[in-house]
Amino acid sequence: MKNNSSERKMEITFCTLRHSIRSLLDLQGEPLPQSGNPADLAFRVGPWFHFLPMPVLFDIQGDDVLISYPDEPESAKAQAAELVRRAEQRADTCDDAGAASLPLRHGDGEFG
């Protein structure tokens, strides 16, 4: 009898955003490239999205670029929500510097 749990594969849910290539390049102060090669365009805009979870996939469709990346796990969303809650509490007491400087301690998943 096979163990079904060992045969399960992790399913990745991707989030996708669509943006105009022109506006992305304008934001960076860069001119449109002479070449309309999608690989060249993806190579140019890819580093701007280094903060997204990997893998980041680019699909150039005309003037639009579709940027797809894995959805964050629920634990990361919960940590982000808690960080927002704590920042709002500090901002409500006019501690703007404290709200802006809330660190997330890496490694243990707890907030500083």
> Picking from 17-26, 27-36, 43-52, which range would have the lowest pLDDT averaged per residue?
27-36
Q: 104: which DSSP letter? A: B
* Gap between the Cα atoms of 40 and 112, Å rounded: 41
The DSSP code for 62 is T
Determine the pLDDT at residue 107. Answer: 42
> In this structure, are 66 and 27 located in the same domain?
yes
User: Whole domain around residue 50: which residue ranges?
Assistant: 13-70
Do 93 and 110 fall into the same domain? Answer: yes
| Token digits of residue 2 | 């096979």
Please tell me whether residues 64 and 78 are part of one structural domain.
no
What's the confidence (pLDDT) of residue 11?
65
pLDDT class for 9, splitting at 50, 70, 90? low
Answer yes or no: is 3 within a domain. no
In this model, does residue 38 exceed pLDDT 80? Answer: no
Half-sphere exposure of residue 84, counting CA atoms within 13 Å on the CB side? 6
In this prediction, residue 72 carries a pLDDT of: 84
Residue 78 and residue 45 in one domain: no
Identify which has the larger pLDDT, 90 or 8: 90
Burial class of 21 by CB neighbour count within 10 A (0 to 12, 13 to 18, 19+): buried
pLDDT of residue 10: 52
The reply to whether 17 falls in a domain is yes
Are residues 106 and 80 both part of a single domain? yes
Report if residue 49 sits inside a domain. yes
The percent of residues in the chain predicted with pLDDT above 90, rounded, is 3
Residue 110 lies in a domain: yes
Kindly report, residue by residue over 59-108, the tens digit of the pLDDT.
888 888 899 999 888 888 888 888 888 888 888 888 878 777 777 544 44
In a domain, 1, yes or no: no
User: How many domains does one find in the chain?
Assistant: 2
The verdict on 63 and 87 lying in the same domain is no
